[in-house]
Amino acid sequence: MINGKKIVLGVAGGIAAYKACALTSKLTQQGADVKVIMTENAQQFVSPLTFQALSRNPVFTDTFDEKDSAKIAHIDLADWADIFVIAPATANVIGKIAGGIADDMLSTTLLATEAEVYIAPAMNVHMYAHPAVMENMKKLEAWGYKFIEPGSGLLACGYVGKGRLEEPEEIMKVIATDQENKNLLKGKKVLISAGPTKERVDPIRYFTNHSSGKMGFALASEAAKMGAEVTMVSGPVNLETPARVKRVDVESAEQMYEEMIRLYPEQDVVIKAAAVADYRPVVVYDEKMKKKQGGLTIEMERTNDILKELGRRKTSQFLVGFAAETINHMEYGRKKLVDKNLDAIVINNIKETGAGFGADTNVVTYINKFGDIKEMELAKKTDIASKILDEISKGLKEASD
């Protein structure tokens, strides 16, 4: 996945710049053509000559050092790259990209590139945790930039904590795996439902559940990175739309039903990660319900079971459901797999620590219609999402063989 790739490596001014030398060497050994851009500060730590010798290419340090009068260096380099890596990425460089600032060779080239960008931050633990840096990274992530998280340990500044540039081998592994995954769902149309539904009682009150939408959004984001054309039908959540995902917002189970049914026929894969209300109030009041003496009984009626209906209408779609259970989760999950005519089900045991509603992590069991089981241990929802999508890709491949 690295062999033959044209890689621009941006080196910013941090002590971890020395690790970028090893990264250059390893990428070159793997057959990549590496061109290095160094910021002025990076040159305080390592000499451009080191990178020139390791990459066997000239090193770029100055936007106005135009070596070829027929070309504009930063545009030429931006267009040349298949992959753009920034390692180490300092708080300063991350801030510049998030703010659209282009005032040196690295930032101008980066703004001009359409290549895939991987950012490997390295900085002091408190700088890394600063809300400005966090906010900038969140912004960049939403724009489709990929982050290779720093490791924890003793930092050059003497602090122990998160901020150490990931090891060059690991950076290479992340890039290679990501490149490998990139095309797994290329050309496939994927429909994902996410978040809770809200079932109104009156203009002020409603019934809902604890779903934050994180699992569904992680699936949408990862599917888009794997090359799929993703549409996400989302209940009311407080999350930013992932890059390259088409989002349709709904509120109630009925609205979700209508949108999912409308979009269903053209899909290759459908994943129902939403937590849909099973019941809604029979009467929805136009005005605020006034309180009265005594208790209150609200009559509820069943909502449409969207997944069951999709299972009934299934033609060639690969249909995946989720199950959130507190007891007998495997038994109930398997029953849903069969009853709703699914190709696979992802079962959360929501009583397990770090699993299910609201958390950034999950623990799930993936079961396909042949009964094959894949346990997915505690991990970030994005990692769980990517594993689920790997299984779905395998399922699609088996179905087409």
**Catalytic site positions:** 157
Q: Are 341 and 305 in contact (CB under 8 A)?
A: no
Output 90 or 234, the one with its CB closest to ligand PMT. Answer: 234
CA angle 369, 192, 147 (to 5 degrees): 105
Residue with the two structure tokens 């950012």: 119
Which phi and psi angles does 22 have, rounded to 5°? -65, -40
CA distance 171 to 82: 16
Burial (CB count <10 Å: 0-12, 13-18, 19+), residue 134: exposed
What is the nearest approach in angstroms of ligand PMT to the Cβ of residue 374?
A: 15
How open is the CA angle 281-285-288, to the nearest 5 degrees?
120
Whichever of 24 and 382 has its CB closer to ligand PMT, that residue is 382
Query: Which of residues 82 and 325 has its CB atom nearest to ligand PMT in the complex?
Result: 325
For residues 27 and 276, which CB has a smaller minimum distance to ligand PMT in the complex? 276
| CB-nearer residue toward ligand PMT: 43 or 209 | 209
How far apart are the C-alpha atoms of 265 and 215, rounded to whole Å? 24
Smallest gap from Cβ 316 to ligand PMT, in A, equals 20
- How far apart are CB 121 and ligand PMT at their closest, in Å? 25
Q: Coil, helix or strand for 148?
A: coil
Shortest Å distance, C-beta 279 to ligand PMT? 9
44 vs 326, which CB is nearer to ligand PMT? 326
**DSSP state letter for 90:** P
Cβ at position 48, least distance to ligand PMT in Å: 46
Alpha carbon distance 216, 227 (integer Å) = 17
* Nearest to 211, CA basis, from 223, 222, 198: 198
How many other C-beta atoms can be found within 10 angstroms of the C-beta atom of residue 212?
A: 19
Binding site for ligand PMT (CB under 6 A): 195, 211-216, 253, 272-276, 278, 303, 305-307, 321-324, 336, 348, 356-358
CB 313 within 8 A of CB 264: yes
Chain-centre distance for alpha carbon 218? 5
